[in-house]
Amino acid sequence: MKLKDIIRNTTDTQPFNNFEIAILREIYRTLGGKINDYASTKKTDLNLLMDSNIIGNLALDKDILMYFYALYKNNLFNVLNKDGDFASIEEVVVPQMKEYQIKFYQNINSWREIKNTVVSDDSDTAIDAMDWEFDYGNVVSPELTTHIDDEIHQGDYDEVFDTEADVLRTINESITKRKIIITESQLSKIEEDLKYWNVSDANPNKNKYEMGVELEEEVTSIPIYKDNNPHKRIYEKMRREFPDTPEYVLQDYYRNIILMRAPGHRPAIKDILNMYNGDPIPYIKGDGNGWWYNYLKGPWKLQVLNVNPMDFDKRTVRAFEQRDFGNINAYNVPNDEERMDTQMSMRRDDGMNEPVIILQNPDGTYQLVEGWHRTMSILKMGDKPTEDYYDEDDYNDELWDEETPTELKDWDKVKLRAFVAPNPDFKEKK
């Protein structure tokens, strides 16, 4: 049984069912019908519950236990004089459960960051769960949290010196609308970030994609960062180094190279922070023997290309064929089918698509860098299979729906909007 099968919507206040009552009574019995004072017991309620092996005894999922503990906390006051009779509650208080990402910052001469996720109704309880996990999770089963990753530097472990809890998502939504109020200083900070980043989502309904820092598109997302956030400083230095690079191209490099190196590879940002004191430019100049630096330099042009598959170089065409233009996930691309379906529903061949990123070779062929799902879905609009044919092996069949595929060279040309720059491989060889 999983959390999604039993969790209530926050507006579902009907009395508890027998299953809920049974678990709440066990929690009530284990905790003595109260919320314990850590100062006197030296243990959190979650420690006491886990010491009692409640997960094993009741065959509960860790998320389910966290949910029922939240139910217990929110409804305990209604049964304090009723010997834990949760069946008597006519209007249940349902907590709003969220998934938190918990970070522990631990001294190991420099520091260690440990990241886990946990389901809870508030950040304090989420941190209590992480505390139990940190002290016992590696030696006691079962667990309360899910480990994501950690970053370890040289040195011996020391005390945890800081803790962070961030909400990743809300699990059971309330239908009640809440007004969000921000202070003048918060508003000023948001406006500063908008001016600072000038980030565009490259909306395909817009006619212009400006180069450089000044963008005229409507900004649809607001990045909010701590004042000392190193990522923001890194991006600022990249923006100053490449003032004429389209924001779309620079953002793509920043997200996919600087922050998210391929699985199994060390993220570039770690080297930038540890080896170059937060300066990305020396790293970029050395990455790929300067290939990426020349790539970002361009020069870049926003163009509407008139292409079919054979206008691309052999490497790109081979990738098209291996992926069967989106029908086969040949490279283990995450959410490949869903992303392809989305692009197929949005595709257009009039050159008004969200731009892709392309390099042009000296022979005029194109190498596709980013925007594979978009490009393959648009190119397929030029595929015009031949007429249907009869199946001669089955005389009872009527006209089949099968079609004879068209060779790639015979596909019609389609319009594809793209940011285009010379391929640095060839630019350097000159």
pLDDT in tens, 322-354: 999 988 887 777 778 888 888 888 888 788 888
- With respect to residue 193, please indicate whether it lies within any of the assigned structural domains: yes
- With respect to residue 176, please indicate whether it lies within any of the assigned structural domains: no
Q: Minimum mean pLDDT among 243-247, 288-292, 395-399: which range? A: 395-399
Q: Minimum mean pLDDT among 145-149, 199-203, 354-358: which range? A: 199-203
Res 429 pLDDT > 80:
no
Element (DSSP H or E) covering residue 232: helix 230-241
Is 198 in the same domain as 215? yes
Please tell me the predicted confidence (pLDDT) of residue 209.
Answer: 37
Is 42 in the same domain as 156? no
- Which structural domain range is residue 42 located in? 3-88
Res 309 pLDDT > 90:
yes
Q: Minimum mean pLDDT among 51-60, 272-281, 395-404: which range? A: 395-404
- With respect to residue 395, please indicate whether it lies within any of the assigned structural domains: yes
Q: Which alpha helices (H) appear in 263-335, and where do they start and end?
A: 268-275, 280-286, 291-297, 314-322
CA distance linking residue 193 with residue 198, whole number of Å? 8
Give me the mean pLDDT over the 104-115 stretch.
62
Is 358 in the same domain as 413? yes
Is 289 in the same domain as 311? no
Is 264 in the same domain as 288? yes
- With respect to residue 178, please indicate whether it lies within any of the assigned structural domains: no
Is 148 in the same domain as 208? no
Is 128 in the same domain as 161? yes
Element (DSSP H or E) covering residue 66: helix 62-75
Q: What is the pLDDT of residues 52-100, one digit of tens each?
A: 888 888 888 888 999 999 999 999 988 888 888 999 999 999 999 988 8
Element (DSSP H or E) covering residue 126: helix 123-136
Provide the pairing of β-strand 301-307 with 146-152: unpaired
Tokens (6 digits) for 58: 């009741």
CA distance linking residue 89 with residue 61, whole number of Å? 25
Give me the mean pLDDT over the 279-301 stretch.
92
Q: Minimum mean pLDDT among 113-117, 244-248, 342-346, 426-430: which range? A: 426-430
Res 427 pLDDT > 80:
no
Give me the mean pLDDT over the 198-222 stretch.
36
- With respect to residue 179, please indicate whether it lies within any of the assigned structural domains: no
pLDDT averaged over every residue in the chain: 76
User: Which residue did the predictor score with more confidence, 53 or 36?
Assistant: 53
- With respect to residue 93, please indicate whether it lies within any of the assigned structural domains: no
Res 140 pLDDT > 80:
no
Strand partners, 419: 302, 357
Amino acid of residue 102: I
User: Which residue did the predictor score with more confidence, 209 or 98?
Assistant: 98
**pTM as predicted:** 0.48
Is 252 in the same domain as 317? no
Is 348 in the same domain as 267? no
Res 426 pLDDT > 50:
yes
Is 395 in the same domain as 331? yes
Q: What is the pLDDT of residues 165-181, one digit of tens each?
A: 777 777 776 645 445 55
Closest CA to 165 of 216, 128, 133, 215: 128
Q: What angle do CA 212, 218, 219 make, to 5 degrees?
A: 80
Is 262 in the same domain as 283? yes
- Can you state the angle between helices 372-379 and 336-346, rounded to 10 degrees? 50
Domain count, the chain: 4
Is 283 in the same domain as 208? yes
